[in-house]
A = this chain, B = another copy of it.
Amino acid sequence: HARVVVGVTHDRNVAKVVVVDVPDRPGVAHQLFNALAQEEINVDMIVQTTKAQQATDLLFTVTRDDLPRAKQIVEAVARDLGATAVQEDPSVAKVSIVGAGMMSHPGVAARMFGALAEGGINIHVISTSEIKISCLIDEDRVEEAVRRVHQAFRLDQLDSEEAPA
């Protein structure tokens, strides 16, 4: 059978920005990310959850070089929106598993999270798709994280009869 998870990737050049307590109403996401796009800032991840309340947080990532400029841009929008704060964390890294149909296989995400948990590696951000499950962790744990996730999915083993071409 074809492998569901085919590899582990990581990216150290990641900085996290959180705009805290933005009004949860139409137009807010557009206003924020349009401001960044106008300045040609490349945003990698955009992550937002909501629970039943008036405000929510908007999280995104940029490269470390772009962090000062991104923060300046969103602080202006945040003031306009009445957001509480803009937080930044330049010392995160992204570790991801890549594959196919991953979310159609119960347990794949849990296995990745378990590999990180075994190392006592805290997961700050999670974002998933069928072909990529990404976690932001502390950057000083990224090598260990890649190794543990690699092992958890047996990606270090040769299995010519199992792996697709």
Do residues A129 and B129 form an inter-chain contact, with CB atoms below 8 A? yes
The reply to whether the CB of A158 lies closer than 8 angstroms to some CB of chain B is: no
A74-89: CB near B (< 8 Å → 1, else 0) gives 0000000000000100
Do residues A110 and B34 form an inter-chain contact, with CB atoms below 8 A? yes
Residues of B within 8 A of A37 (CB): 106-107, 109-110
Interface residues of chain A: helix, strand, loop or mixed (majority): mixed
Inter-chain CA distance A45–B109, complex, in Å, is 10
Residues of B within 8 A of A58 (CB): 126
Contact of A47 among B29, B120, B127 (CB under 8 A): B127
Given A103-B43, A129-B129, A132-B129, the answer on whether A30 and B121 have CB atoms closer than 8 Å is no
Inter-chain CA distance A109–B42, complex, in Å, is 11
The reply to whether the CB of A46 lies closer than 8 angstroms to some CB of chain B is: yes
Do residues B125 and A33 form an inter-chain contact, with CB atoms below 8 A? no
Contact of A57 among B51, B103, B129 (CB under 8 A): B51
Residues 17-76 (chain A) with a chain B CB within 8 angstroms: 18, 20, 24-27, 29-30, 33-34, 36-37, 40-52, 57-59
Inter-chain CA distance A87–B56, complex, in Å, is 15
Residues of B within 8 A of A30 (CB): 110, 113-114, 116-117
The minimal Cβ–Cβ distance linking A98 to chain B, given in whole angstroms, is 10
Residues 105-150 (chain A) with a chain B CB within 8 angstroms: 106-107, 109-110, 113-114, 116-117, 119-129, 131-134
Can you spell out 10 A-B residue pairs with CB atoms less than 8 angstroms apart?
A18-B49, A26-B117, A26-B120, A30-B113, A34-B107, A42-B106, A47-B126, A127-B129, A129-B131, A131-B131
